[in-house]
């Protein structure tokens, strides 16, 4: 049995495209809208451990550009970057996907990566 958790924002084009890809593969996805449902520090810390805080932090978007120089500087350390992402969830690259297969360690991906998903799903 495989469980897929997809974390993101429903209006994000990459999240929409990802959800559609999984649906086209006939895969059920448990979607977590972290804008509406929130995101706790422990979950974000787990993502940072699995994917790397630098990979998670979107430094290209408008939310990043709107931050002050001091706020941007605080992202140079993991704790500061995570605090910023908790305060501004739009700073998190999307989607974050966790694929769990029975008897195996959960696998994590970031962004729209259908080739990786196919490999992880064994399709």
* Catalytically active residues, by annotation: 12
Q: Could you give the count of Cα atoms lying within 13 Å of 122 in the half-sphere of its Cβ?
A: 7
Based on the number of CB atoms within 10 Å of its own CB, is 97 exposed (0-12), middle (13-18) or buried (19 or more)? buried
Q: Tally DSSP H helices, then E strands, for the chain.
A: 7, 4
Return the structure tokens found at 65: 């550009």
Can the peptide bond before residue 54 be classed as cis, meaning omega within 30 degrees of 0?
no
Separation between Cα atoms, residue 64 and residue 8, nearest integer Å: 17
């Amino acid at each position: 049995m495989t469980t897929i958790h997809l974390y993101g924002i429903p209006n994000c084009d990459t999240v929409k495209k990802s959800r559609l890809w999984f649906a086209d593969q006939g895969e059920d996805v448990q979607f977590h809208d972290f804008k509406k449902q929130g995101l706790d520090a422990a979950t974000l810390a787990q993502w940072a451990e699995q994917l790397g805080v630098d990979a998670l932090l979107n430094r290209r978007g408008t939310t990043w550009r709107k931050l002050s120089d001091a706020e941007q500087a605080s992202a140079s350390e993991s704790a500061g970057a995570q605090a910023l992402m908790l305060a501004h969830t739009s700073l998190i690259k999307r989607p974050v996907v966790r694929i769990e297969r029975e008897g195996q360690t959960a696998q994590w991906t970031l962004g729209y990566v259908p080739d990786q998903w196919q490999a992880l799903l064994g399709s």
